[in-house]
Chain A
Amino acid sequence: MILVFLETREGKIKKSSLEVLSEGARRAGEMNAALAAAAVGPFDQALAAEVFGLGARTLYHLEGPALEKYSSQGFALALAGLAAEVKPKAVWMAASALGRDLAPRLAAKLKAGLASDCTKVAVAGGRLEYTRPIFAGKALMTLALQGDPGLATLRPNVFALGEAKSAQGEVVKKTAAVAEDQVKARVEEIQKEQGAALDVTEAEIIVSGGRGLKAAENFGLLQELAAILPRAAVGASRSAVDSGWIGHQHQVGQTGKTVSPNLYMAFGVSGAIQHLAGMSGSKVIVAVNKDPEAPILKVADFGIVGDLFEVIPPLKDELKKALSD
């Protein structure tokens, strides 16, 4: 069995979890294994149809008084209990902020190997092989995990969503034996960042700025572009972040985030090796740079040698036209 942990936010299953579930369906099919999903804490039963539609036959819903809100300790205890009972071959979750917090805790509890932030999963000789970027994508490692279960987190935006079918499944409710005093770190409050609902790791389009933007206020131009585009977020190079023009949570590269959007648009980003490592997994790369020798132009599918301040205004108009078609 491949068991996929479902992450919910604001009453919905996160897209990244549905991607993991979809990949689970494909690989479980190849291995002739069952696919099951697990939700912990508050979970709307109406969402079960979506889970079954993507190929899970069983949905475990783990509840308990200490599981009302996410905590790594509480959720790891609940999932470890389920894993001990149903003995999956693999436990997967999204490599989201929550998944990256929870999976290692669960792995240590289960004494299991963990492949973090995978971008490819294959079945070879009946076992799972995981491919993951190391050095922020300067190299790719393919590995297998010894022992059952093997744990993996899968990078958001990389695995295709499956086609939802109309299918039946079984919801199995369980009460997890997790006591309040077993949770020693609790989320007291979630502070939303203003105007940035979408993180660069989740965005399908990233509009990124570097030193060529010259000043903090010019990031407003990129925000305007991002607002036109669907599921877009604003990214930045290290030098833009270190200049204090934008928060480090926007930084793309080896000391920022590694991203794989459908489209990465770099404005005034030279393309230092540590930045290229973090965004070379993008499906399509566009670069606008004054310097024809800028390294970013060597990896761009479409490059414009020119002044970004002159290119952005007509670009906005052209994009609006194309999107309204």
Chain B
Amino acid sequence: MNIFVFVKRVPDTESRIRIQDGGRAVAEEGLNFVLSPYDEYAVEEALRLKAAKGGTVTAVALGPDESLVILRKCLAMGADEAVLIKDVGPETYDGLRTAAVLAKYMTAKVPQFDLLLFGKQSVGADNAQVPSMVGELLGLPQVNVVTKLEIEGGAGTALREIEGAREKVVFSLPAVISAQKGLNEPRYETLRGIMAAKKKTIPVVTIAELELSAEETTSRVEILRIEAPSPRLAGKVVTGPAADAARQLVEFLHNDAKVI
């Protein structure tokens, strides 16, 4: 199986977000960047499928040179190849622009593939758009928010999380799958993997050489402003006997907050 897994460099989830450029961008300085958490499940699933079925795993990132760090992590986890599609511009928050670049990369540079794996969303932009959009642009079926995946021959079965239930989806290959927490337990890189990853060459593809149209590379998202949410103020805090505290709480919910 020829598997591609698409990964993104994002600030870790413990980060405090600061806003700059007069409210047009998120400040990157001082943030600790990591492989987006849901992408880790996608990489792990790719490696497990390869172990079971054979084939190759290629990790692809779209982003600045600093994305090489997460690509090296993918190699250290066990991916065979990694590719950086270099994009130096600011984050556009336009999923369709990202999807157009990734889809064009696949049609222009990859003659054959079976499975495209993504995290269900990048942690940060939180759009959850790119997997479905790549699916549409390449004419492939998609299954999103997947917690179980089985591939047999030219077809697959996936469990996808919906509200209070799971959908069992059957699909033909090639296909786009986006990973949800619960799909697997991502492995840690081994020291040997890290050493081997250091020696690998990561080819860099520019957006220019993919020859996209102006329409495809222009963001449809006009960022008007980015703001901090209004801070929540601490309310009443009570101590003392549990029965009294419980009574006061219910009074508050019933009479003041009126939510019960």
Contact = CB atoms under 8 A, between A and B. Distances in A.
Interface in A249-299: 249, 251, 253-256, 258, 262-263, 272-274, 277, 280-281, 283-286, 292, 297-299
A142 interface: yes
Nearest to A205: B259
B220 A113 contact: yes
Contact of B169 (A185, A249, A322): A185
A188 to B, nearest CB: 5
A160 interface: no
Interface stretch (B42-50, B108-116, B128-136): B128-136
Contact of A185 (B125, B175, B240): B175
A255 B181 contact: yes
B257 to A, nearest CB: 5
B107 to A, nearest CB: 14
Contacts of A12: none
A48 to B, nearest CB: 24
Contacts of B260: 229, 263, 319, 322-323
Given A133-B126, A306-B239, A188 B221 contact: no
A136 interface: yes
A105 interface: yes
Interface in A108-152: 108-109, 111-117, 129, 132-147, 150
B54 interface: no
A32 interface: no
B144 A111 contact: no
B236 A145 contact: no
Interface in A174-197: 183-193, 196-197
A315 B252 CA distance: 12
Interface in B206-260: 215, 218-229, 232, 234-240, 242-243, 245-247, 249-250, 252-254, 257, 259-260
A189 B169 CA distance: 7
Contact of B168 (A143, A187, A241): A187
Contacts of B21: none
Interface stretch (A17-25, A56-64, A92-100, A165-173): A92-100
B195 interface: no
B129 A114 contact: yes
A247 B221 contact: no
B105 interface: no
B167 A187 contact: yes
A299 B232 contact: yes
Given A97-B163, A301-B236, A310-B242, A139 B135 contact: no
Contacts of B38: 255
A140 B242 CA distance: 38
Given A101-B144, A139-B228, A184-B140, A303 B238 contact: yes
A103 B254 CA distance: 39
B204 interface: no
A305 interface: yes
A101 B132 contact: yes
Given A108-B137, A254-B123, A300-B237, A318 B246 contact: yes
A208 interface: no
Given A96-B163, A185-B170, A318 B221 contact: no
Interface in B90-106: 93-96, 99
A263 B259 contact: yes
B245 A304 contact: yes
Contacts of B215: 111
Nearest to A281: B229
Contacts of B198: none
A145 B239 CA distance: 50
A274 B13 contact: yes
Contact of A105 (B125, B136, B172): B136
Contacts of A132: 126
A285 B129 contact: no
A233 to B, nearest CB: 8
A78 interface: no
Contacts of B218: 146
A205 B144 CA distance: 27
Given A249-B182, A263-B253, A306-B245, 6 more contacts: A185-B171, A263-B257, A301-B252, A305-B239, A315-B250, A323-B260
12 contacts: A98-B162, A101-B144, A101-B145, A104-B133, A188-B169, A254-B123, A273-B14, A283-B259, A285-B232, A314-B247, A315-B246, A321-B250
| A-B interface, 4 closest residue pairs, ranked by CB to CB distance from nearest | A113-B220, A185-B141, A199-B163, A108-B136
